[in-house]
Amino acid sequence: MSTGQRHNALSSTTNIPRRLEKKKRNTMSAVMEKVHDKLSQAGDAIQDSSLLSNAKVASIKADMVDGHAKSQKMTTDFGVTLPETASNAWLRVVDGEGRQGPMLLEDSIGREKIHRFDHERIPERVVHARGAGAFGYFKLKESAEDVTHANVLTNTSLTTPVFVRFSTVLGSRGSADTVRDVRGFAVKFYTQEGNWDIVGNDIPVFFIQDAIKFPDLIHAAKPEPDNEVPQGQSAHNNFWDFNILHSEATHMLMWAMSDRGIPRSYRMMQGFGVNTFTLTNAAGERSFVKFHFKPELGVHSLVWDEALKISGQDPDFHRKDLEEAIKNGAPAKWDFGIQVISESQQDAFEFDILDATKIWPEELVPVRYIGELVLDRCVDEYFSQTEQVAFCTSHVVPGIGFSDDPLLQGRNFSYFDTQITRLGINWQELPINRPVCPYLNMNRDGAMRHRITKGKVNYWPNRFEGTAPVRTAEEASAIPAYKEYPQQVVGIKQRLQAPKFKEHFNQATLFWNSMTAIEKLHIIKAFSFELSHCDDEAVFNNACARLADIDVELAKAVAEKVGGVMPDQLSGSRRQNHGKKSAFLSQMVFIPKEPTIKSRRVAILIADGYDKAFVTAAKAALTAAGAVPLVIGPKRSYIYAEGETRGTKGHGVWADHHFEDQRSTLFDAVLLPPGSHATSLTTNGRVIHWIKESFGHLKPIGAVGSSVKLVKKALLPLVEAADEDSREVVDSYGVVTVGGLDGGITEALNIVKGAKSFMGSFAYRISMHRCWERELEGLVDQVAF
């Protein structure tokens, strides 16, 4: 045998294991692909079956094509079918020896592809550029006919299709989801009387009272003009310079520096219309209204260190979360409510009800919850739907109108204007934006006009009496027409503010007083982080002085951290804390009606030698309760239980991720099963870091049997842990441990406070979101993570 033959034989022999492994990987890849396809089909079927009656989804079906269809071959934009060579190579000159020559401009196919690519981008939104959206519906549960004649708010038999877009405000389209920022919460109701848009935020107030200041606000908040730094955050000189010199922003700053600025999920934040609108009932009586959305799952937030890390580890965290929940059968839900003030009571409060920097305290104006908003269908294509959806505060339907809120008045102009810039004058013809009700008028032409309107006339009045407005009472009773409220206006033109608009601090102090101890601690830390990034002494000193107008102790705590001026160093007298509180401002009061772990992500850490019976039962119990358990192992591959043989069919569990590619930041809780694998996990530094980081981020940790020693290695003496032979469940600061289980795990979890079982106690801790006592008692400060 020649040297070459021996080499080939040797190579062939040594490659047998590699080929077998490759074949196994390919087989597994095919299996996983089939599983993925089945799950995708099941998810699509669930979405389709849940929305067969959704008029909006039905209306856009005609504009949809299937990008996976094998029956449709690739064509040009003008419909000519393409050969494979046209998708791979530009038309060019090739000589007789196969040498390439110049490319030819006559290649219309190549030119079309490049031209289309060069023009794919449209101007991104100046604010709210980064967003995520979903379809769903609004169901009215209680008629509000006493205050409005809007059909969508009076007819309880209706189910109204909606599209909702969530967003950050400051960052570009490519920025991260979990930065500290206000979140947009925009809802488009496709009603039978036209589109109604609530273009709101997750915070009920705003930085400015008058729309004319909006360009200055955004210029100051965006990256600084000399170096385009920083991206998508407020921790810089210009933001704080403007907002501190602009005292009406004080209340909003308190909300933004609270945990509301770093939500755990779009599904776990409130929504607010922010501005004051009006409602008019059938009798012609007008009221003022604010709109509210309260999440079914409660209001929950990340912790700051976690938010920072997720921005790098998974910048799309909130987008993925929304999609994952919907596809796992956990649609996002909110209760819809209204706050109503009669016209006669407009001046009855110490604040001006038209001031967007003020809330209407619920003790004075209760929220009346009358409906439910549900998001249960993911978008089909991001650009065509989420990016091209366009909202306007001026889009209201009969029975809903505008107040003299000066911020709203400016928004009504600005939003319409900006959509023309982004999408062109015919933006309302786009499938995502067009109404589901019949619509027709004399507006014509313009760039990218899609609609074809037949007929000889394009004006009113016309000899055919075609496309006439509603002209008679009889017609109006059949087709409600929009009618402005006949408001009497008397005055003189001048650039002045109403007297009550000049008070800027009372509600900022009310907000601070209403926070729990942990929320106050987080607000102090947030101000300290932001102002420490301001290197201009005038900026952080002015900010510390402003905080003294809210609360002296708050100002002291922040000034000490950032090296700012102390309250006792300030000249003149400072405002005294009025001591008032509200029971409706802390996010801790917004919790689910019943404890739930629905859509919560639980990481199950295992290695070879795990306890199969426990892991199987735990996954089943968590899944049955609506949680999303994911197996994390040393590598993404099969992990084998005690007593199983590697490579044997039917043995092993597939790890969803490995310890390095997913971190504890992306989960709500960590579960450590029993088994001999605990020995190897104890020597794995990344696993120990998982436990410490989860503890530092205040997340529940569960450990059973031999895995209790992992907890002891990572966290003793900060917490207590069960002995390995004990059957008593120990809950120490949300670290739930037990030595062994008698009777195994039942699939139905009893999620109640004081649960006696291990899984019940662990699940209850997950339902409480975080273990705040760790931070309040200083344990977090003793752990490096």
Chain centroid to CA 128: how far?
12
From the candidates 128, 251, 292, 522, which is the catalytic residue?
A: 128
* Six token digits for residue 78: 């003008």
Chain centroid to CA 292: how far?
17
Helix axes 250-257, 517-532, angle to 10 degrees: 100
Residue type, 255: W
Q: Is 578 labeled as catalytic in the residue annotation?
A: no
Torsion of CA 664, 665, 668, 671, to 10 degrees: 0
Read out DSSP for 468-479? Answer: PPP-SHHHHHHS
From the candidates 151, 201, 238, 243, which is the catalytic residue?
A: 201
With beta carbons less than 8 A apart as the criterion, state whether 397 and 264 touch.
Answer: no
Spell out the SS3 assignment of 690-730.
HHHHHHHCCCCEEEEHHHHHHHHHHHCCCCCCCCCCCCCCE
* Gyration radius (Cα) of the chain, Å: 30
Chain centroid to CA 666: how far?
14
Read out DSSP for 228-292? Answer: TBSSS---SHHHHHHHHHSGGGHHHHHHHHSGGGSBS-GGGS-EE--S-EEEE-TT--EEEEEEE
* Six token digits for residue 561: 């951290």
Phi-psi region of 643 (alpha: psi -120 to 50; beta: other; left: phi over 0): left
Q: Please state, in angstroms and as integers, the Cα–Cα distance from residue 695 to each residue in 612, 665, 754, 771, 774, following that order.
A: 26, 11, 21, 9, 8
With beta carbons less than 8 A apart as the criterion, state whether 59 and 435 touch.
Answer: no
- Give the separation between CA 633 and CA 610, rounded to whole angstroms: 10
Q: Please state, in angstroms and as integers, the Cα–Cα distance from residue 120 to each residue in 68, 132, 376, 383, following that order.
A: 21, 19, 29, 10
Can you name the residues that pair with 737 across neighbouring β-strands? 703, 730
To the question of whether residue 640 is assigned a binding role by annotation, the answer is no
Q: Which residues contact 345 (CB under 8 A, 6 or more apart)?
A: none
- Count helices and strands in the chain by DSSP H and E runs: 22, 21
Q: Which of helix, strand or coil describes residue 113?
A: helix
- Give the separation between CA 734 and CA 704, rounded to whole angstroms: 14
| Closest alpha carbon to 278 in 478, 487, 118, 49 | 487
Q: Which of helix, strand or coil describes residue 159?
A: strand
Chain centroid to CA 664: how far?
19
For residue 230, whether the previous peptide bond is cis, meaning omega lies within 30 degrees of 0, is yes
Q: Please state, in angstroms and as integers, the Cα–Cα distance from residue 528 to each residue in 255, 381, 428, 485, 574, following that order.
A: 15, 41, 45, 48, 21
Angle at 666 between CA 664 and CA 670, to 5 degrees: 45
Residue type, 499: P
Percent helix, strand, coil in the chain (nearest 5)?
35, 15, 45
- Give the separation between CA 195 and CA 439, rounded to whole angstroms: 11
- Give the separation between CA 480 and CA 491, rounded to whole angstroms: 32
Q: Is 128 labeled as catalytic in the residue annotation?
A: yes
Beta-carbon neighbour count of residue 313 at 10 Å?
16
Q: Which residue ranges make up the annotated binding site for heme? A: 415
Per the annotation, binding residues are 415
Active site (catalytic) residues: 128, 201
